[in-house]
Every structure is written in C-alpha cells, then in structure tokens.
Structure 1
Amino acid sequence: MLKVSSCLESSSIELRGIVPVTMLDWVGRVACVLFVGGCNFKCPFCHNPELVLSPKKQSLLSWEKVRQHLETKKKWLDGVIITGGEPTIEYGLEDFLSILKEMDYSVKLDTNGTRPRVLSRLIKEELVDHIAMDVKSSFRKYSKAAGVSVNIEKIKKSIDLIVNSGISHEFRTTVVPKLAEKEDVIEIAQYLGNRKAQHYYLQQYNPKVTLDPKLMETKPYKRELLINLTEECLRFVPTELRG
C-alpha cells in the first residue's frame, strides 16, 4: 500500500473493521471507530480474537469508502478512534493519523502500552488528543494476562509518558477471574494514583467471545463486587465502572 504523509487520497495502514458512529467509546464525543489487525499480545480474554489470530483473513476496508464516510459525516462526528489489534505496531500509523488531523478530526488512540517510543513520537507530533491504555493486571501477573512475555519496564514507561503528556487520557482494566482479580486491581489503582493518572476504568469481563475458548466457561464477577471494587479504587485514583 502507498505510504503518504500529507495526502487525503491514500491510507498507509490496513483497516480491518469500522463502527461508523458510536457515543459509547469516547466520553463526550460522537466518534467513528477504526480497527487495525494484528497484535503483539494474546490476551486469553480478548474480545477481538480474529484481529489477533488471523488479521489477514479479515476484509480489508477501502480507504476511499472510509474517507468518504468521514467527510460526509463530519457535521455529526467529532472524533476518530483507532483501535485493534494494537495500532502502535502498524506500519504507517503516524502518516495515517496525520491524514485524520488534516481532516480536522480529533483522535483517540487505544493501546496496550508496549511501544513507548511510538507513543512518544505521536505525543510530540500532536497526533493524538486522547489515549486509552489497557493495564492488563498487576505487574507480577502481567505476562499471564497478556498471553505473552511482557517487558514491564516498557509498560511503566508508557504509563509515565501518557500521564505526563498533558493530554487527556485514561487507563482500563478488564476484571477477569484469576487473571485480574481484586488484589491486582487495587495494586493498579495505587500505582496509577501515585502517578497522578486522570481516569481509571474497570471493565466487566464478557465470556461470550474470547481468544482462549476455555475462558468462555469462566463466569464474570458479580456487578456488586465490581461496584465495591470501584469504590475501593477511588481511594487512590478517579475510577468508574463500565459494562
């Protein structure tokens, strides 16, 4: 695919999915969600396993159609969310975000925080307006929750980069039995609170679609437990419950 840096005619990344309009994924904004394929994690509870395990088998979206949608709906949309998969491993991400900026769109980036150098460049070049980083579990259980060996120092560096960036941000943890339990979430909240993070969201685990089929048999925590856990986290960092 053609790589461009200042042109509305081409996209330099491969888009594998779209939610044309959402009011749920970026607080206070009506946004379009664009999905890239491929990920350097294999979280057992991932709810987009097809984008992780077989991204090339997913339909490739036409950039021309995506561009037309963004231009046509510009009166109603006030943001574009880039998610995946893991966008920061996608070749041409910076060029693509530049295109969105040329279209006068605000950009939210979803990331797992494994590539702090990429995040640093995006922040420095002012290509993102909001960053949402998933914090999979406490650092001692991180690799288990991510499904691969994780360099924790890179995760910590990304957290610090985001918090100190001066831009809007949030951190999120999907509360999964055995992978991200009460004590893990409390540790995360304490760590984020010490870093002065803006927002922390707890997400209910959904067993309907998972990368590891065995996890479909794992029952989510009861909502009452998550409400209580949210209140405990509030002692350290602004926390809300989603899902």
Structure 2
Amino acid sequence: MSAHAESALAEVPWTERILLGSFTPASDHDWPGRRAATIYLLGCPWRCAYCHNPQLQKRGTAPALSWSRIAAKLTASRDTISGVVFSGGEPTTDRTLPEAIAAVKALGLPVGLHTSGAYPERLETLLPQLDWVGFDLKTDYESYDKLTGAPGSAARATQSARLIIASGVAHEFRLTWHHQVINEESALLAAHFAQHLGARRFVLQAFRSEGVANPTLAPESMPSAELVAQLRALFADFEVRGDICGLAD
C-alpha cells in the first residue's frame, strides 16, 4: 500500500475500518467465571490444522456487521454481561483494536482478549488496557512453525507469552490437544515453558470438531490420563476443558 493510500485510509473513522467477523451477545465459555459478549475480528497470519474459526482467517472486505450495531447491543446488555472478549481469527491483526477496546471500556465493561501472540509488538501496547488474556499456546518451540504454517511464529509466541506474564494481567494459558497435531512430549515441553514463565492458570483444551475445516483430522481426540496427571502436577490452577473458547457463529 502506498503512503498516500495509507494516509487516506487513516482518515476513515476506525468504526468503519474495523473488520468484524461475528458477534456473540453472551457466552459462559469465552472468559472463565464471567458471562461475556464476544466480538470476533477478521484475520490471522497462522494456519493451524485444528482451527475452529477458519472462516475468519482472511481479512477480505468489511462484512455487513457494523460497530455501531455491536455498540448498541453492548450498551443495552451492560446489566446482563460482566465483560467483553475480543477474539478471532487473531484479533491483534486488526489495527483498530486499541480504539475498539477503549470504546468498550468507556461503556464501563471489562475487556478480555483471546490471542495466539502473533503480533507481540501490538500486544505489548494493548496489555495496559486489558483485564484478562486467554493465550493460545500451541506446542513446544521447535514444533511451532510447522504447526502454524508460519516461519518465525515460535519466536513471536514466546515473546508474547513473556509479555503477558510480565504485565501482571490476569490470564490463562491454554493448549489444544489433538494427537495428529501435537504429541505428548511437545505438550509437556509447552507446559513446562508456561510454568517456568510463571503462568498462573493452565488449560488443556480437548479438541472439538465444530467449525474445523480440515478433513484429515479424526473427529475425536482425548488426551491420555497420564498426560493430564503430568500437566496437573505442574499447576495449582489446572483444568481440562471440553467446551471450545471463541467459536464464532
């Protein structure tokens, strides 16, 4: 994009530039302990085999869903929800996310973020605005780039994980299990990394086939009891979760 085009785009209000993929008025799964609305943004630079929102991966053009419509719904439901989560895709892909977070905070609602850590430099600027982060840890360092299909993703995820812990923001690190995508050794290495950093909460998220477009994956894959026990021993706050966080309509 040329400098002129970028300048012209910057003059367009952020409410018209934000690319919204979907909106869930209320969910009990996207922010543990809270009933939260979830806003899904378009775009993700990674292509994980078990992605359950593949329709949100491409940026494309702005859909019919508008920010003004979402803002009106959030305003009307402030008494029935206790937070708003930005999800995706990878929500930090959208450069209007800081403005969107500020708009939600202005309504008096806490803000959570689902992220894989693909853009650590953007995440760092967002963390002071956030009340909670759900960090999708994928696998061990050596296996990261293959799982995501993106060279350099291991380094980016590592930097983001460190930033989250250093920020002091409430969080959970979660790892999705599917035996065709990640093995037990890699899962344990990833969990040890999270423990070493000081992650307070760790979730082993069981694979669910809803939304997944990859036909080569078995529809069911449960972690072994031995793996669960090993992970549980690492964290005082540990959970095996069957419900999918951030499943867009």
Under a length normalisation based on structure 2, what TM-score does the superposition of the two structures give? Answer: 0.86
For structure 1, the residue ranges without an aligned partner over 5 or more in a row are 5-9
Classify 1:103/1:174 alpha carbon distance in 2 versus 1 (closer, same or farther; 3 Å): same
Partner of residue 92, structure 1: 96
Equivalent of residue 118 in structure 1, options 122, 126, 130: 122
Classify 1:187/1:91 alpha carbon distance in 2 versus 1 (closer, same or farther; 3 Å): same
Partner of residue 238, structure 2: 239
Q: Secondary structure at the match of 2:101?
A: helix
Contact 1:171–1:201 (CA under 8 A) maintained in structure 2: yes
Partner of residue 26, structure 2: 21
Contact 2:133–2:170 (CA under 8 A) maintained in structure 1: yes
Equivalent of residue 64 in structure 2, options 60, 64, 69: 60
Contact 2:20–2:62 (CA under 8 A) maintained in structure 1: no
Note the aligned Cα RMSD (angstroms). Answer: 1.9
Instruction: Measure how far apart 1:189 and its partner are.
Output: 1.2
Contact 1:50–1:58 (CA under 8 A) maintained in structure 2: no
Under a length normalisation based on structure 1, what TM-score does the superposition of the two structures give? Answer: 0.88
Q: Percent identity?
A: 27
Instruction: Measure how far apart 1:11 and its partner are.
Output: 5.9
| 1:147-162 superposed matches below 5 A | 147-162=149-164
Q: How many pairs were matched up? A: 231
What is the alpha-carbon distance in structure 1 between the residues aligned to residue 99 and residue 62 of structure 2?
22
Q: Secondary structure at the match of 2:92?
A: helix
Instruction: Measure how far apart 1:12 and its partner are.
Output: 4.7
What is the alpha-carbon distance in structure 2 between the residues aligned to residue 241 and residue 99 of structure 1?
34
What is the alpha-carbon distance in structure 1 between the residues aligned to residue 60 and residue 203 of structure 2?
31
1:24-52 Cα shifts (integer Å, max 9, x gaps) = 21111110011011111011111111111
Contact 1:36–1:84 (CA under 8 A) maintained in structure 2: yes
Partner of residue 44, structure 2: 39
Instruction: Measure how far apart 1:230 and its partner are.
Output: 2.4
Instruction: Measure how far apart 1:57 and its partner are.
Output: 6.9
Contact 2:20–2:41 (CA under 8 A) maintained in structure 1: yes
What is the alpha-carbon distance in structure 2 between the residues aligned to residue 187 and residue 168 of structure 1?
23
Instruction: Measure how far apart 1:176 and its partner are.
Output: 1.4
Partner of residue 178, structure 1: 180
For structure 2, the residue ranges without an aligned partner over 5 or more in a row are 1-8, 243-249
Contact 2:144–2:153 (CA under 8 A) maintained in structure 1: no
Instruction: Measure how far apart 1:23 and its partner are.
Output: 1.3
Partner of residue 220, structure 2: 220
Contact 1:43–1:211 (CA under 8 A) maintained in structure 2: no
Instruction: Measure how far apart 1:102 and its partner are.
Output: 0.9
Equivalent of residue 101 in structure 1, options 101, 105, 109: 105
Partner of residue 3, structure 1: 13
Partner of residue 6, structure 2: none
Partner of residue 171, structure 2: 169
